[in-house]
Structures are given as C-alpha cells and as structure tokens.
Chain A
C-alpha cells in the first residue's frame, strides 16, 4: 500500500507540464538517436547529460530526460534494423535477422508495428518489476556497511568486465584505467593533490562530463569517419501498417517469455540489452522448432524487441536501489546524479522519493508516449536515416563542445575532451570495451571511500573486508566470474583436439 502512495506521488512529479514536455522531448530525441546507426543509448545520454545540467534542470527532470532518451533509443534501434538491415543500436542486432527479411517481403509496416507493441509490453512488465522489487531490495541493502558496498562494487566491475567482451583481460584493464582516472585531483579526506601535475584545471579531478563526452562522442565521430559507408537502400514502409489478430496471437507467448527474461538479465549487473535480446532470440528459435526463424518470422521480431526494452528498464533496479550501475548507460546516469550532489543508493528511496518515484512514473508515461509516437510517426523517424553524415557529424561535435564548455567555461576542458576522444578511439580500435571504463570512473571515488571507511572502522584490520557473509559471497562471486570463463575456455580447447582425433 505504501508503494501505491509513493507511486502516486511520483505521478504528481512526472505529470507537471514541464516534466511531461521533458519526457516527450526525451522520447523523441531518444528514438532519433536510436534510429541513427552508430549512435546508441550511451552516446545519446552522454551528449544530453551536460546539456541538462547546463540548462539548470532540477535533478528529477534531468533524470527523466536521460531515462526517456534511454528507453527511446531501445524503441528507435529497431527501425533501422528492419528498414536498413543495419542495427541502430547494439540491442537491436537480433531484430535485423527477421525484421529485414520481413521488410523485403513487403511487410515492413507489420514488423514495425508488432515490434513497437512488443517493446511496449516488455518495458511495461519490467517497470512493474521495478515497482514490485526495487523498494524491497532498497530496504534490504540499507543495512549494508562500507565493507559490503566495497564488495558489491568489486562484484559489479567484475561482472561488467567479464560479460561485456570476449576479452576479459582488456575489460579488466579498461575498468582499472577508469578507476585510476578517478583518483586524479584533490583527495577528499586529507586535501592532498594526487596526479595533478600542479595544474589548476586538474585540481578538481578530471570532470565526469569531459570523460563521457570524450569517450562516447568524440571517439564516435572518429569512428564514423572511418566507416563512411552510405548508399544503402532504405526499404520504404508501405502497404499494411498494422498487424492483424492472427499475427498478434502468434506473438503473445514469445513476447511475454522474452519480457520476463529480459527483465532478469537487465537486473544483473553487466549483462545488458544486447545479451538479453540475443538469449531471447535463441530460446524462441528453439521453442518454435521450425526453421522459419531468420527468414522473416514475426516472432523473431517480437521476442528480441520485448527483451531489450525489458532489460533496459530492468537495469534501473541496481542503479536506484544500490547506487551501483549495471551498464554503461546507467553509469552515466549515476554520474549525472552525482553532479547534482545526490549519492545514488538505497537511501534515495527514503530521502529523495520524488526523484526515484518521479523517474518510475516517467518511465511508465514515456512508454505510452513512445508507443503512440512509434506507430503513426514511423515514416518521419525513418526519414532521419537520410540525414547526410556531413551535416550530422558537425552537429554532434558542436553540441558536445557546448555541453563540455557549459560546465567550467575553460578551453582546457575542450582540449582534454578531444584528447580523451583520441585515446578512446585507440582503445576502441584495439577492442577495449568502454562500459567497464566508465563504470570504473564513476565508482572509483565511492570504491576508495568505502574501502577507507571500512578500514577506519576496523582500525586498519583487513579482514573486515570479507568478514560479513554478504561481502564474502560477493567477493567469491566476483573472483569466480573473472576466472571461470577463461579456465572453461582453456579446458574446452584442451578437450577439442581429443574429440577430433
């Protein structure tokens, strides 16, 4: 019952005209960012985050903007998957497998409408999941001490490190680079300057906005120059736009199963929309039994879309209840909250209910807006695919620079942004994943503070870090997640030659 009161309070926040307008803008921009190949939710959120701050939006409005951009991207990604066979964002890769064949058969409209509805069902189920589980989890984690939080952060970093890439060593190094970058600047406890090289601009640390924009916007621009492939044919969505009853009943099972699966995958730190939609697609393919998947089966469009939207919404749970982001995009949002001097975590549910419940209500409202936008306005969004890069890229560059400049108004930040962008480009070319890096950067200060606090409590005795059962389990899981996949691979490689002989 208490939840109901809070939810109503959240609706009161989200339904103010200003916030409704912000949610609508966020949904619209999000869908466009999702449609454009190359730009995904993390780029969209990264570019808009400093702007929200520069526009002096209050914290809850800023979070609503970023969250609606995030879920909008998950809707938008499917459009280019279906019409162009190029996924608009990573979560929509699976949608192209059956969506593009459907479009070639002249069923683009049907594929787009069924995927919009399944996206809607997926997100709605996941948001209901947030409403049910998040308060419970927040209550439980209120009892966490510094040692438990330390273990939890190590676990989150290990998860993201091992799942995001087939290259665990590089992911761990990326996370460490992020953590190390966070130590630059004045130490909060003692006032000592660390790694500032006597520069005034670094005394406050490397600005979060600069890191995010450099790594996700500038490096993206450099990658875009490299892959200037145009001239792909956009299939026009014509003919029947809506799916019929028969097609809808065909998809009900697949959509519901994939929504639940996507939600649980989203809650896990590390595994995001990409993994969720891949698992959903594979398992629906198995359940269907036939060989129609990959040739334009309507269930192959509904299942991954339900899963990736559900997982995007599910990933808000660890961020809201524990303050530990489970994905790159939510890591950026946590960083945005810290710009407002709000420490995300279990206390937010009691101390900042307006922000938490306003966000949850806005997610529900945003979903309805997206569903309404995404069926009739589909051709408007599809036309975004014809924006030439020579216009798009400078726009991204200029808006990024405005966002960075708005924070401190220094040339130094702009140059650092470009420098980090070049660094990010090199890392990405070498297959270093960026999500662990940004997660490390966001968690760096909290990780160190909790470690030092825990050791202060114990007077310098290390065992406090693993004495409680919760931290013990989390630390063991973290080590297992990092070590098991490579060992398993090696074991299988050893087995392989034996079986072939």
Chain B
C-alpha cells in the first residue's frame, strides 16, 4: 500500500514539475539543447517509473509501531527545532538542549542526559570554534 501512495504522490509531483519546467526558457540560444529538455526528460522518466510502481504488485513495507512512530515524530520535531533555533539560541545552548532531548528519547537517565548535554555543548563549541577555526554562532542572547 505504501508503495502505491508514494507512487501516486510522486506522480503528482512530477506532473507539477513538468508544468513548472515547461516554462523554463532562456533569451540566449547558442546551443541546440538549451536548459529545458534535460529536466523535462528526467521528470517524464520519473513519472513513467511512478506509473510502473503504481501498477505492479506493491512491496510489503513494515512501518514501526505507533509508539515508535510517536518517538520518531518527536525526534524529527526536535531536529527541526534545533535547526531553526541554531542561530538564535547559539550553538552551545541549542546543542545542550538537543543532547538532553535525544538522550531522554534514547532512554538515558535525566541527570546523565543533562550532564552529557552541557559537556557536549561546551566541548564541541570549544573544539570547533576555538581550536579548529570553524565559526559557530554563540547566540544573540550572549553576544
């Protein structure tokens, strides 16, 4: 079933892509092919594959149980929040929070997760920003 849902969604995306791709055009024309055909060929081939996937016998896909799905969703949200707050909170603080959150999700004791969070946020910031010269944000609230 998942195969068919995926194929249907992908087919719709390909059709949308074909509409968008059709409008690509350039003023200059000093080569025979131009920028349009290649993406259009790819999109058509993908649409063809999606149709074949839709028509054939779908593979059985085993999705995780509801409780695991719930934890997965939590992990995805945490990662998105981490990305979103990376600059605002700064690397040390956001990494501390992420480490704590993931630690709890993977079954650590709360004090162990908190401790590893503080150590990780501090140590990685020091290692990358100070020792290795990779500039990381300290956060607008600290600077």
B49 at the interface (CB under 8 A from A): yes
21 pairs, A vs B, C-beta closer than 8 Å: A167-B59, A176-B49, A180-B42, A187-B26, A192-B24, A222-B72, A222-B75, A222-B76, A390-B104, A390-B107, A390-B108, A394-B102, A398-B98, A411-B86, A414-B86, A418-B76, A418-B82, A421-B79, A430-B59, A430-B61, A459-B32
A176→B45 contact, CB < 8 A = yes
A-contacting residues, B44-72, CB 8 Å: 45-46, 49-50, 52-53, 56, 59, 61, 63-64, 68, 71-72
A385 near B: Cβ within 8 Å?
A: no
Q: Is the CB of A190 within 8 A of B35?
A: yes
Number of interface residues of A (CB under 8 A): 60
Provide the bound-state CA to CA distance between A311 and B41, in Å. 34
Q: Is the CB of B79 within 8 A of A390?
A: no
> A57 to B118, alpha carbons, bound, how many Å?
29
One of A258-266, A365-373, A401-409 contacting the partner: A401-409
A431 near B61 with CB under 8 A, answer yes
Main secondary structure of the interface of B (DSSP, over half): helix
Residues of B close to A422: CB separation below 8 A: 76
| B: interface residue count bin | 35 or more
B83 touches A54 (CB 8 A): no
B92 to chain A, nearest CB (A): 10
- Sorted nearest first, the 9 A-B pairs with minimum C-beta distance are A460-B32, A414-B83, A390-B108, A390-B106, A394-B99, A190-B26, A187-B35, A390-B103, A173-B49
Whole-angstrom distance from the CB of A15 to the nearest CB of chain B?
A: 24
Q: CB distance A390 to B112 under 8 Å?
A: yes
Q: Is the CB of B105 within 8 A of A225?
A: yes
Smallest CB separation, A161 vs chain B (Å): 11
Please tell me if the beta carbons of B116 and A415 are within 8 angstroms of each other in the complex.
Answer: no
Q: Are B124 and A398 in contact (CB under 8 A)?
A: yes
Cβ-defined partner of A195 (8 Å) among B20, B83, B98, B135: B20
* Known interface pairs A183-B42, A418-B80; A430-B6 also in contact (CB < 8 Å): yes
Whole-angstrom CA separation of A414 from B53 in the bound complex? 32
CA of A362 to CA of B31 in the docked complex: distance in angstroms? 43
Q: Are B46 and A177 in contact (CB under 8 A)?
A: yes
Contact status B107-A228, CB under 8 Å:
yes
> Is A200 an interface residue when CB atoms closer than 8 A count as contact?
no
Q: A195-B20, A456-B32 are in contact. List 9 more A-B contacts (CB 8 A).
A: A167-B59, A173-B49, A190-B28, A225-B72, A390-B105, A391-B103, A394-B102, A411-B87, A455-B33
Please tell me if A497 contacts chain B, counting CB pairs below 8 Å. no
Closest-CB distance, B91 to chain A (whole angstroms): 8
Report whether B68 and A415 are in contact in the complex, using a CB–CB cutoff of 8 Å: no
Query: In the bound complex, do residue A406 and residue B134 qualify as a contact, i.e. CB atoms below 8 Å apart?
Result: yes
> Is the pair B53, A173 in contact by a Cβ cutoff of 8 Å?
yes
Q: How far is the CA of A395 from the CA of B98 in the complex (A)?
A: 10
Residues of chain A with a CB closer than 8 A to B32's CB: 455-456, 459-460
> B35 contacts A189, CB within 8 Å?
yes
* Cα distance, A200 to B59, chains bound together (Å): 39
Chain B residues positioned under 8 Å from A460 (CB to CB)? 32-33
Q: In the complex the two chains form, what is the Cα distance from A55 to B133 in whole Å?
A: 7
A440 closest partner in B (C-beta): B42
Q: Do B21 and A195 touch across chains, with their CB atoms under 8 A apart? A: yes
Instruction: Please indicate which of the listed interface residues A192, A421, A431, A456 has the most CB atoms of chain B within 10 Å of its own CB.
Output: A192
When chains A and B are docked, how far (Å) is the Cα of A176 from the Cα of B124? Answer: 37
- Which residues of A are found within 8 Å of B28, using beta-carbon distances? 190
